[in-house]
Structure 1
Amino acid sequence: MMSDWIENRQPLNPLVSVAMATFNGEKYLGQQLDSLLDQDYPEIEIVICDDSSTDGTVPLLKKYARNSNILLHLNDKNLGYVRNFEKTLSRCRGDYIALCDQDDVWLPQKISRLVSLARQTDRGLVYSDADLIDGSGQALRKSLRTSYNINYVEDNRRAFYLFNCVTGCTSLVSRRLLDLALPFPPGVIVHDWWLAFVAARLGRMGYTNERLIQYRTHGTNQIGIRPLTSLKTAGNIGLFLSSAKNRKEVKEVQGVWKKRYHDYFLGCLAFEQANGLETDLTEKLLEWSDEGSTWSWWGKSKLFLRQRDLFQIVPGHLRVPALLSRLFL
């Protein structure tokens, strides 16, 4: 497979593109942009795609875009956060790409530390832990990892079919890995999950427990802190299910997400086939996603029992099915 992921011809400080996808984020956007401009890494471009914001985001972006390091694009129509991130990533020119949200604060050494880690370990994707702050910028007690009980992994190539522990804004991706991941297949549920899957399947992922950003958790996050691990944490499906008035509505929502996971597994299968990787587990997951009991509590538990290493990074959201599986280990 791939080897020598770090180009020998790279300069001492290769260009890093910061990929920021914005939508109605004016409240915290200035703080985020200021922290990008304060990075101690010398070679940075900031690529921003705004997804047809209707608040004060665009005027603020235009003000910051007077800086020659900021490249701003305004979408003609709303694409949604996954396709907007895909478009932003496709416009990046750097040897490395750092994914960026619109409401966090990066520590000055964030990019330099991740570039150093990527080059030292020869990894296509590296990511870090983060401090948590609230909407007013006050520090919360725990880190991203400890607060959400996530087991971070580097080398489990099977762990990212159903779970994701890579928060995009803590990650740095190499150009070579990004070129393999683009364009996103139709079934991609979240951009950072897909990049993590690609990196994990190729064995090119690294992690540091350094806390390199302040991750802001508040009521208007465009995409939450939680990994998309189940029906309750995938997008807003938990809200849909909790507000469902009857069994018919629950089944309709479950049907939508059943199709989304099926399409996601199809994308995983196509990637594996294109890169000469084993496809046996993906084929089993496709069969599982077609089963009638897929989205029941017992359906997920049966999957864990069949593929026990899949729950290596299971967070607290799926603790009961995971614990059930562990009884049989």
Structure 2
Amino acid sequence: MNPFTLSRLHARPLVSVLVANYNYERWIGRALESLLAQTYPHWEAIVCDDGSTDSSQEIVASYANRHSRIQLRTQPNAGMASALNTAFRGARGELVALLDSDDEWLPGRLQTVVNRFHRTPQTGTVTHFVRAVHAGGHTLKPIHPRHLDSGWLAPSMLAGREPGLPPCSGLTFHAEVARRIFPLPVQFRRCADKIAQDRAALIAPVSAIQQALSLYRLHGANLTGLNGPCTLAELESNFVFLEQLWADRRSFVHAQHGFLPDIRPWRDIESAHLQLARRLFTGEPHSADYLSALTSPLQRQIWRLLLALPAPAAQAALRLWWSENAFKRLFRNSWDSLRQPA
């Protein structure tokens, strides 16, 4: 299984920015202002309003009327994947970037990403950290996720290792990769960026910029966030999503590379944390293989401790571990400050 060969970009490639919006009147203007503040000028933005019932559509229209680089597309509500598909149909750029309508890019984001594509010409996806912020703007997490992977990730993905990749606003694709990953399956009304990043990493190498170049805003209306599944219902919802993701991954690999991968490593290794968490909530026996599937010795020790605790204590400890909270922020920020060079 080899990556596809990609064409070289022009010196100043046009970047098509895809924005899916639904009822984010409070944030969409800030997202578009962050685009207008970019130091790299060669971009176009295609915003698909996914049937908003608030004033989002009017706000985007006012920007489109004043700025020719911003376009508005509208559709009845159909979910994130469908909205991104609609936006992508209007894309003309050599690069395709995703921007969540409640996020913001820092001013040098596009220039830094374009520079990275030029330095690594066979890269299919450039990623970067995002800074998780509260609705009011204060930092919840300086970098998210905790690590980013680079290189040709497909072999390790097929072996069951979930790669370190950022959410929507940290993703930019070479257009030749984007044309292979779009259209996205419309059943993914949420987390469509996960499908896009998953597919892209199976096409060509990833290059990660090790700095936060966007603000990832967490607020009450978010469909996703920093928390893991901490109830049985949330766990079961995650398993449903993963089964859909794996089915799409399998058919995508078959379509792009001509073979059907084995799904068992994904169930046994990629979902090991969730399988162990299910044990905490149901009391059902678990296979020792799930513990051995964890790559970190520290995580294996934590799970052994959790599984040895009485169920109420274990569930409370899991919520502390997998939920964003003030204690974790204090510990994480203190640890990160200690790791900074003097």
TM-score range, shorter chain: 0.7 to 0.9
- Structure 1's unaligned 5+ residue stretches are 243-252
Amino acid at match of 1:152: L
Paired residues of 2:81 and 2:187 also in contact (CA < 8 A):
no
- Residue 30 of structure 1 and its aligned partner are, at CA, apart by 1.4
Paired residues of 1:13 and 1:42 also in contact (CA < 8 A):
no
> Are residue 123 (structure 1) and residue 123 (structure 2) matched?
yes
**Cα distance change on mapping 1:133 and 1:118 into 2, 3 Å:** same
Amino acid at match of 1:183: P
Paired residues of 1:132 and 1:142 also in contact (CA < 8 A):
yes
Task: Determine the C-alpha separation between the residues in 2 that align with 1:63 and 1:116.
Answer: 31
**Cα distance change on mapping 1:159 and 1:187 into 2, 3 Å:** farther
Equivalent of residue 266 in structure 1, options 247, 252, 276: 247
Equivalent of residue 148 in structure 2, options 146, 152, 161: 152
Q: Give the aligned partner of residue 72 of structure 1.
A: 72
Percent identity (aligned):
22
Q: Give the aligned partner of residue 175 of structure 1.
A: 175
Q: Give the aligned partner of residue 14 of structure 1.
A: 13
Task: Determine the C-alpha separation between the residues in 1 that align with 2:302 and 2:81.
Answer: 30
**Cα distance change on mapping 1:107 and 1:302 into 2, 3 Å:** same
Q: Give the aligned partner of residue 314 of structure 2.
A: none
Q: Any idea what SS the aligned residue of 1:208 has?
A: strand
Amino acid at match of 1:31: R
Cα displacement string for residues 293-322 of structure 1 (whole angstroms, at most 9, x for unaligned residues): 96833788756457556x89x9x9x99559
Q: Any idea what SS the aligned residue of 1:36 has?
A: helix
Cα displacement string for residues 31-89 of structure 1 (whole angstroms, at most 9, x for unaligned residues): 111110111112111100001111111111111111111111111x2101232223223
Q: Any idea what SS the aligned residue of 1:26 has?
A: coil
**Cα distance change on mapping 1:38 and 1:288 into 2, 3 Å:** closer
Amino acid at match of 2:64: A
Task: Determine the C-alpha separation between the residues in 1 that align with 2:157 and 2:187.
Answer: 18
Cα displacement string for residues 243-269 of structure 1 (whole angstroms, at most 9, x for unaligned residues): xxxxxxxxxx83x66454333222111
Q: Give the aligned partner of residue 31 of structure 1.
A: 30
Residue correspondence of structure 1 range 67-146 to structure 2 within 5 A:
67-75=67-75, 77-121=76-120, 122-138=122-138, 140=139, 142-145=141-144
Q: Any idea what SS the aligned residue of 2:26 has?
A: helix
Task: Determine the C-alpha separation between the residues in 2 that align with 1:97 and 1:131.
Answer: 21
- How many residues align? The count is 291
- Residue 114 of structure 1 and its aligned partner are, at CA, apart by 0.7
Q: Any idea what SS the aligned residue of 1:27 has?
A: coil
- Residue 203 of structure 1 and its aligned partner are, at CA, apart by 4.6
Using structure 1 for the length normalisation, give the TM-score.
0.74
Q: Which is worse superposed, 158-167 or 29-38?
A: 158-167
Q: Give the aligned partner of residue 220 of structure 1.
A: 221
